[in-house]
A and B are shown apart, each in its own frame.
Chain A
Amino acid sequence: MSETAFGYLLLAIGIAFVLGVVYAVTSHIGSTTTRPHPPRGVHLPNPSALPVIMAVGGALLGIGLAFRADDQPVANPFFAVPGLLVFLYAIVAWVRAAGREWDETERGSHDDTPGH
């Protein structure tokens, strides 16, 4: 088996092992979601997929920078362009969500910073 193929096989096993551990740990901690009513004055932001999305966008950008071919001046566009687009989408969506939540708390009660 070539070295690269061995590397990929190790990676696949590693990922499977990691997912197994994560499943084992988190399915015990997160099996029921409690949503009690917070006391007055406490505002908790909603869950959001934007952090994960932004991290993936940043990773793609980084991969584009690292795997630049000699004839590309700045980065490898195959990775950098999707990365940049994902990253910009995440920033725009984040700002809009933050603005929405800020307005809600302003029009609602006069306490708490909104989700950031």
Chain B
Amino acid sequence: MYAKRSLLLLAFLAFALAVAGCGRGALLDADRDAVGDAERHAVGEADAEVTVTAFDDFQ
């Protein structure tokens, strides 16, 4: 009985984490679209795992 409850709790936690993870991924994708909208001056591989965007002023 005790083991069954633990398993149910673990399954619930796994499900909750998966849902939270999907939400976080969607949020990051949305942010990435907003930040990386203009890639005129990009260096590096187009399919690189990470995109770093820097806003800068020359003065």
The answer to whether A and B belong to the same complex is: no
Task: Mark A residues whose CB is within 8 Å of B.
Answer: none
